[in-house]
Amino acid sequence: MAHTLEALAKGQEFSEKPTACLALADGQLFYGQGFGAEGTAVAELCFNTAMTGYQEIMTDPSYAGQVVTFTFPHIGNVGVNPEDDETADPVAAGMVVRWDPTEPSNWRASEDLSSWLARRGRFGVGGVDTRRLTRAIRHQGAPHVAMQFSKDGSFDTEALISKAKAFPGLEGADLAREVTCAQSYRWDEMRWAWPDGFPKRSGPGHRVVAIDYGAKRNILRCLASAGCDVTVLPATATAEDVLAHDPDGLFLSNGPGDPVATGAYAVPMIQTVLEKTDIPVFGICLGHQMLALALGAKTLKMNHGHHGANHPVKDHTTGKVEITSMNHGFAVDSQTLPDNVMETHVSLFDGSNCGIALRDRPVFSVQYHPEASPGPMDSMYLFTRFADAMAARKAA
């Protein structure tokens, strides 16, 4: 095929031969310049509206199985650094951006984005009309895609389209198993503070067991900063594993994939813990969905999900509106909440559920990421609420 002519037909213009191709399952093709490591990726495509934090987004385990289209054009301009990784390696399958990444201009940068991706075996596509791509995602739902970076600019587009069509999608996918920790560990690092970076928590604290469905480091740091002595357990931990630590509270982390698939083993654990103890429980993102399933609600797949750092959420318990960070393609169906569970938060974009709580116990969860990495800090109070609930239980 004449790649440049195809691209021009779609409104793309290049001063040099394209080195990357993005193929949607419906046959649409987008061309651009690749950066990072040469290769091919097959995944679900989503878009993220955050203006900062591309490194945190790429290393967020909640993006397993997804390629991220960034609607903000200046991606790569502040470089990357080891302190901003949310996990050891990028988890998102790849990235699509409007402009090719520039040389970093930031005092914290230790490496440029392209080199960082190449070293971690990931790649991105620059020079794509991300506005047009975002409209396609919104209109048809999160599409399945295959993308390739080849420096010689040679692509078998029919093969790429076939790979996109063959991708099984995220429904029914238990991805938490793929991103969770291999064994338990302790966490004592707190939130970043000038000028020393990440201080260590010391002294007695609330004993918290955190279930790792794909936990971000900054969420664990927020727990430590709230006075929690954190022990992290794998996603497949049983109720016996949890209770063996005699916890003051249970935390259910963020993570990727279909909540129903992960719930096959996570829900029985949560239900048993709730039956055998009265400890506070706090869930985030996938952890929110796990708690909802354990309490008797259902979840559903969204058209294109919520991904960004500017999502308004209303707290029904206070009447306040928070601007939040979100990353989810599934949601709790509020129509299925049992009578003993109240809906505490809703999205002001589409009215979808963003928070629940038991009416008679300190058991609550939210759909968004309150740790602000990246994003606003409106919801940091939730970590304090969790700590206060544990303190109140001890005092009683």
Q: Name the amino acid, one letter, at 188.
A: D
The position carrying tokens 């279909």 is 258
Cα gap 2→239, rounded to integer Å = 59
Angle subtended by helix axes 381-395 and 217-225, to nearest 10: 50
Q: How far apart are CA 330 and CA 345, in angstroms?
A: 16
Residues designated catalytic: 285, 369, 371
Tokens of 220: 């664990």
Closest residue by Cα to residue 91 from 121, 131, 126? 121
Among candidate residues 170, 280, 184, 180, the one with its CA nearest the CA of residue 230: 184
Whether 324 and 379 have beta carbons less than 8 Å apart is answered as yes
Tabulate helix, strand, coil % of the chain (nearest 5): 30, 30, 40
Q: What is the maximum alpha-carbon separation in the chain?
A: 74
Residue 212: CB partners within 8 Å, gap ≥ 6?
180, 181, 232, 233, 234, 235, 253, 255
- By the 8 A CB rule, do 370 and 390 touch? no
Closest CA to 1 of 157, 125, 146: 157
134-to-71, 139, 304 alpha-carbon distances in Å:
8, 9, 10
**CB of 230 closer than 8 Å to CB of 201:** no
